[in-house]
Amino acid sequence: MASHTILVLGGYGFFGTRICAALAGNQDIHLLVAGRDAARAGALTAQLGLPPRQALALDAAAPDLARRLAELGVDTLIHTAGPFQGQDYHVARAAIEAGANYIDLADGRDFVDGIASLDDLARQRGVFVTSGASSLPALSSAVVDRYLPRFRQLASIRHGIASGARAPGIATMAGIFSYCGKPFQRLAGGRQQTTHGWLDLQRHRFAAPVGRRLLGSCDVPDLALFPQRYPGLDTVTFHAGFAGAPGHLFVWAAAHLVRLGLLRSLLPLVRPLHAISQWVEPLVSDKGAMFVTLQGTGLDGLPLTLTWQLLAAQNHGPHIPCGASIALANRLAGATNNDTPLPRGAMPCIGLLTVENYLAALQGYDVTEVPA
């Protein structure tokens, strides 16, 4: 009998569906699929072969959320209902109050960086709370941690992601578009530099078969967290891009209009562009990739540059951000008894998983690591 109850909030959404599908087969987990639409939750539980009672109508903003979680006996809550930019910690606080662990897939820089403000509350309740259980910063930091021992001094971390054809969810696009053309700070050349969302256009060459992709600057948690975690860094940058150059250039041009004050925001474009991206999906590459390039001084005192990559085909790229929450959920449920117990308290999702832990959660998908 399953002994660990996991509730996935936004469980029938873009990432939630993938997480639920991965956890449904774990006999140690009693899975609850939750969201505002009970019918959609029920459709997913039926698809996964779960009993109808494991589908729930639950609003993330409900004032009695903590009480509901306690009544349901939730041991761990996985929060996928973004966008997280502009959200407060209502869901995390409710989980803590209910005595449940909390994991989210947030990509909002301030949201992930600020989760430690709940550390005292989480410790008092004896629960594990983490934010940013996704490609950034969970996987990106795991890559840096793996190769850090090869450096006498790590000076620069440049990393990025190029998507495949599969359009992300509305919430993910809204999170990205919320800062397109807007200024933000990043460390470059030893000082804080102002750049703008989706500008700073670059062309990056990934390993075959992905090849060259256009990338633009993005405001992500790593820009705040990495300088804290890796002393001595003088540069941390992150760029991302779409599978198709025309779509990327359209958003790049629109971001310029925001920067110039001719548009207030790109958020009104999210739904129409999401629809268009779904229409053109058959015409665009199904391959995506992630890279992390580290530069500094090697143990021999000479300059050292290492580049790690992760390649995805068959539109399996959207499964990659789900790897951290799946790995952590299995660990909390006791499926991996040899792992060190997760700490109590609240923290960004850094230093909790190795690259191997992360990629083990993605077995069965067309995802290939290219080690440095």
| C-alpha–C-alpha distance, residues 172 and 149, integer Å | 34
- Residue 1's pLDDT band (boundaries 50, 70, 90)? low
* pLDDT on residue 59: 92
> How far does Cα 11 stand from its chain's mean position?
15
**Which pairs from 142-146 meet CB under 8 Å and 24+ separation?**
142/353, 142/354, 142/355, 142/357, 142/358, 143/292, 143/308, 143/355, 144/226, 144/230, 144/292, 144/294, 145/351, 145/354, 146/308, 146/354, 146/355
**pLDDT digits 0-9 by tens, 235-268:** 999 999 988 888 889 999 999 999 999 999 988 8
**pLDDT digits 0-9 by tens, 161-173:** 998 867 677 777 8
Domains of the chain (ranges; CATH) run 4-134+317-367 (3.40.50.720), 136-312 (3.30.360.10)
Half-sphere exposure of 154 toward its Cβ, with a 13 Å CA cutoff? 23
- Residue 207's pLDDT band (boundaries 50, 70, 90)? very high
| 76 touches 330 (CB < 8 A) | no
**pLDDT digits 0-9 by tens, 300-352:** 999 999 999 999 999 898 899 999 999 999 999 985 555 678 999 999 999 99
pTM exceeds 0.85, yes or no = yes
Average pLDDT of the chain, as a whole number: 93
